[in-house]
Amino acid sequence: MAGMTADMLDCIAEVLVRAKHAVVFTGAGISAESGIPTFRGKDGLWEKYNAEEVASIEGFMRNPQAFWEFARELIVKRKAEPNPAHYAIAELERLGIVKAVITQNIDMLHQKAGSEEVIELHGSLSRVECLECGMIYAWEEVEKKLEFTVPRCECGSNYLKPAIVFFGEALPAEAMRKAVEHASLCDVFIVVGSSLVVYPAAYLPFMAKDAGARLILINAEPTHVDEHFDHVVHGKAGEVLPEVVKRLNKFLSP
């Protein structure tokens, strides 16, 4: 089933009203609606940049400057704000329906929108560490330097690495443990803005399904796994999720 029909939105709202433990899993598609470019697909960043050079740990150790030049375009030129989808998810958490947000994004927009239980599978741009001396910097300190030059540590090293997962690095063990726990416990698992091609994170909805959860997919385009979901809506998350919340609130009203 696909398409943002009124019946489909009502159906999803009813599923969420009955949920005891819903979990939301988000990918690059939700942030794209805030102006952050996606990585894969048409006009994605990997069409312009060599992922191995700018986003792998091996490439970073060879040439950290390449990553920071990439980061300058990705972040400094795009001051992103949460969009209605982020706020709708935060509202679902406030209502006690969503117990956790599992995200592949590193932009911290969920926290900015008000979500509190956010599991960051790929880390975030909250801090930066010098790989030579261990000095920790807040992201804001490094971002100021980025506007003018490639950031360097006070010790002289240019191996300043943000707390994000590069290609070739393992996902944070504690974040993955929490994500698996929520996937195993939830009765509703909602995927928003992800085509589910990046593993091992893409296994999570199927872990949830094996444990008995209903699966909901909200994505701008069809994916290769649509048929495995109980409810599929092809549309912008920033339009779909606020409508779901509006209908859900009607069901909750006395």
Nearest to 86 by CA among 237, 244, 208, 250: 237
Q: Binding site, residues?
A: 27-46, 104-107, 130, 133, 153, 155, 193-195, 219-221, 237
Determine which one of 86, 110, 122, 231 is catalytic. 122
**Residue ranges of the binding site for NAD(+):** 27-46, 104-107, 193-195, 219-221, 237
Q: What is the 3-state secondary structure (H, E, C) of the chain?
A: CCCCCHHHHHHHHHHHHHCCCEEEEECHHHHHCCCCCCCCCCCCHHHHCCHHHHHEHHHHHHCHHHHHHHHHHHHHCCCCCCCHHHHHHHHHHHCCCEEEEEECCCCCHHHHHCCCCEEECCEEEEEEEECCCCCEEEHHHHHHHHCCCCCCCCCCCCCEEEEECCECCCCCHHHHHHHHHHHHHCCEEEEECCCCCCCCHHHHHHHHHHCCCEEEEEECCCCCCHHHCCEEEECCHHHHHHHHHHHHHHHHCC
Contact at 8 Å (CB) between 28 and 193? yes
For the chain, how long is the longest CA-to-CA vector?
Answer: 63
Residue 122 annotated in active site:
yes
Q: To 5 degrees, how large is the angle CA 166–CA 93–CA 126?
A: 30
Alpha carbons 74 and 193: distance in angstroms, whole number? 19
Binding-site annotation, residues for Zn(2+): 130, 133, 153, 155
Active site residues: 122
